[in-house]
Copies of this chain bind each other. A is one copy, B any other.
């Protein structure tokens, strides 16, 4: 099987590659070719380097999608996007990368299929940003998509295209709406959602972190490990079971910031908790107040997608995957 990963240099892309490298059978079939692309050149896992080709290119640039699809990959992970803040700040770039790039990929597949039969599996990274306030207490599988950002709009449109192209038989697609990934590895960043990870990741290694919102803020989480699990599961899932409704909110954990902190206390003790400094930030509070807090993901759960059931597990996954297994 030839696997193409678009957005392979991003955090989820790299973790997905590590998983594929460490569990060769994870995707259900042997991999004999791996193509990795991102706007910066991705790094192939060492054990797969011999069968890998890496490339720095922007999917939304003319001809890029066509050249990727000319190699007829059997399985495509489409993880490439510019993030919410950038898509809001630069309207034209957001539509070019997040909408036109995706559509060009889909069109390249359709047109390749006109030359000779071709119907790859396509797994698309969508987002809970397709939803907009006001929300019900739990967002169910049939709640409508009314995004309040251009990023969410671009993801919702891509989902509709994915469904239609799948229904027409051009590819066999599935859209995966990711919860907020926590604990994000790496350095603290300036994303408004960054603090959800920062207040755990930094204290776990003895560093201070800033909490800009109240402890009673509720949000929707899954670990990087679960996110990778969603993509792996989607890659070999029998999509006949999914039917025509190809875009699924992934399972996650609805938790208060206070519950994050209580879990940190249980796992790493009071000294870790004392490293969290409360510095209320009105701007971040306002942004976060518009985000979804809880979901009822019956369909994804019934289809076998799994996430953590407690924040202790999210923290333990981080310790195992990022900190060598112990504090």
Chain A residues proximal to chain B, CB less than 8 Å: 91, 110, 132, 136, 142-148, 150, 153, 156-157, 160-161, 163-164, 167-168, 244-245
Contact = CB atoms under 8 A, between A and B. Distances in A.
B157 A161 contact: yes
Name which of A136, A147, A157 has the most chain B CB atoms within 10 A of its CB: A157
A153 B160 contact: yes
A150 B168 contact: yes
A196 to B, nearest CB: 25
Nearest to A151: B164
Q: What is the copy number of this chain in the assembly?
A: 2
B161 A245 contact: no
Nearest to A111: B92
B146 A163 contact: yes
A145 B145 contact: yes
Contacts of A156: 160
A147 B164 contact: yes
26 contacts: A91-B110, A91-B168, A132-B244, A136-B142, A142-B143, A142-B144, A143-B144, A144-B145, A145-B145, A145-B160, A146-B163, A146-B245, A147-B160, A147-B163, A147-B164, A148-B167, A148-B244, A150-B164, A150-B168, A153-B160, A153-B164, A156-B160, A157-B157, A157-B160, A157-B161, A160-B160
Contact of A144 (B110, B144, B150, B164): B144
Nearest to A133: B244
A177 B63 CA distance: 37
A150 B166 CA distance: 11
Contacts of A160: 145, 147, 153, 156-157, 160
A81 to B, nearest CB: 16
B145 A153 contact: no
Given A150-B164, A153-B160, A157-B160, 5 more contacts: A91-B110, A91-B168, A147-B160, A148-B244, A150-B168
